[in-house]
């Protein structure tokens, strides 16, 4: 089966002032979501997998968590209702959590933020070396024990920047101990004293440790759940990820793009893995052409799965007009894809 996903992304909402852009959704934005409408929006596009966020990247849960702040009102009943109806459809069910950023936590625990990460992402990015990774694993285990989904997306699996390959390790209280373990010398006082080779070695090992914790937690809690980590990748053969345990063991290798990165993943994939390309998403200046639905036939012939996501203007999940043309191409493609 070729997986086909097209889901309204509840992480974001579109605004047009002062100019068109996406902003993080508020906790209340989607609490009155019509589950039937949400599922139909996916199946009407021809999707054969149903996907929904479990915890938003701003840090609130759409399920009755005891570990994560709850979306207000009926918000914490959204995923349970979605899960029940999705299972009734007999389709593969997906869920989503973000690892790199939880806006509530990046602000509540600023001492867990990777220094300088707000230069690259204003919300900040959490250090995998901090207690955050254990906390993330606890919420992942909680969720999967309640909803053993078919596939779990772990988004923004990054270090310091959404382009972690280019990020230089910064001294911090939580870097001191693992730096000595990994590099074999005390952590310097300044980033300039850390060599590029040391920085790369450190990042790769820290992300390997984080991956192993997440992977082991998920497989112990829900052995049949497949894991899909989204970095996203920016270039083929990135030193950060080449032959990394995350690429070796992930069940699905996901490109949040439809460009040359997909070819690289197809070359690197193991027999147990599939490759997913994203043909709608990443809208906005500078990203045009990164996700191109017109590439679908090439990637289908190479055996890829397909992902697409859209943004609406909350509380509506109706896709913004900027997505309409790409959606029509994708709808026709999904009709042809078996």
pTM of the model: 0.95
Contact 152, 225 (CB under 8 A): yes
Q: What is the pLDDT of residue 17?
A: 85
DSSP state, residue 71: P
Structure tokens at 195: 């060599």
Query: Which two tokens mark 219?
Result: 């497989």
Residues forming beta bridges with residue 93, ordered by sequence position: 50
What distance lies between CA 307 and its chain's CA centroid? 12
Q: Which residues neighbour 203 within 8 Å (Cβ) at sequence distance 6 or greater?
A: 159, 160, 164, 167, 169, 240
Task: Please check whether residue 63 is in contact with residue 80, taking contact to mean a CB–CB distance below 8 angstroms.
Answer: yes
- What are the domain boundaries of the chain? 7-170+205-336
pLDDT (tens place) for every residue of the chain, 338 residues total? 999 999 999 999 999 888 888 899 999 999 999 999 999 999 999 999 999 999 999 999 999 999 999 999 999 999 999 999 999 999 999 999 999 999 999 999 999 999 999 999 999 999 999 999 999 999 999 999 999 999 999 999 999 999 999 999 999 999 999 999 999 999 999 999 999 999 999 999 999 999 999 999 999 999 999 999 999 999 999 999 999 999 999 999 999 999 999 999 999 999 999 999 999 997 544 445 589 999 999 999 999 999 999 999 999 999 999 999 999 999 999 999 98
Cα(338)–Cα(317) distance, rounded to whole angstroms?
Answer: 27
For 272, counting Cβ atoms within 10 Å of its Cβ (0-12 exposed, 13-18 middle, 19+ buried), the class is exposed
- Can you name the CATH fold of 7-170+205-336? TIM Barrel (3.20.20)
Distance linking the first and last C-alpha atoms of the chain: 7
Helices (H) and strands (E) counted in the chain, each on its own, are 10, 10
Helix (H) or strand (E) holding 12, with range, is strand 12-15
């Amino acid at each position: 089966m070729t997986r086909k996903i097209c889901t309204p992304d509840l992480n974001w909402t579109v605004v047009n002032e002062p100019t068109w852009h996406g902003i993080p959704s508020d906790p209340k934005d989607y609490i009155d979501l019509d589950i039937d409408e949400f599922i139909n929006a996916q199946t009407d596009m021809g999707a054969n997998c149903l996907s929904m966020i479990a915890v938003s990247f701003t840090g609130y849960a759409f399920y009755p968590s005891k570990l994560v702040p709850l979306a207000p009102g009926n918000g914490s009943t959204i995923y349970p209702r979605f899960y029940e109806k999705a299972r009734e459809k007999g389709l593969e069910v997906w869920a989503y959590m973000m690892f790199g950023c939880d806006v509530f936590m990046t602000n509540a625990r600023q001492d867990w933020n990777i220094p300088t990460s707000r230069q690259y992402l204003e919300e900040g990015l959490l250090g995998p070396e901090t207690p955050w990774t254990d906390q993330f694993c606890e919420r992942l285990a909680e969720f999967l024990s309640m909803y053993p989904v078919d596939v779990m997306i772990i988004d923004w699996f990054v270090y310091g920047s959404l382009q972690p390959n280019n990020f230089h390790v910064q001294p911090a209280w939580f870097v001191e101990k693992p730096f000595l373990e990994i590099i074999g010398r005390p952590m310097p006082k300044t980033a300039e004293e850390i060599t590029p080779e040391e920085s790369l070695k450190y990042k790769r090992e820290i992300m390997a440790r984080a991956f192993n914790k997440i992977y082991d937690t998920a497989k112990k809690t829900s052995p049949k759940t497949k894991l899909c980590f989204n970095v996203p990748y920016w270039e083929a053969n990135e030193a950060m990820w080449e032959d990394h345990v995350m690429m070796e063991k992930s069940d699905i290798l996901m490109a949040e793009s439809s460009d040359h990165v997909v070819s690289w993943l197809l070359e690197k994939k193991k027999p147990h893995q599939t490759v997913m390309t994203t043909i709608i998403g990443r809208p906005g200046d500078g990203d045009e052409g990164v996700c191109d639905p017109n590439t679908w036939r090439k990637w289908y012939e190479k055996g890829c799965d397909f992902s697409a996501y859209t943004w609406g203007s909350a509380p509506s999940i109706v896709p913004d007009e900027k997505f309409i043309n790409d959606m029509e191409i994708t709808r026709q493609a999904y009709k042809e894809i078996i």
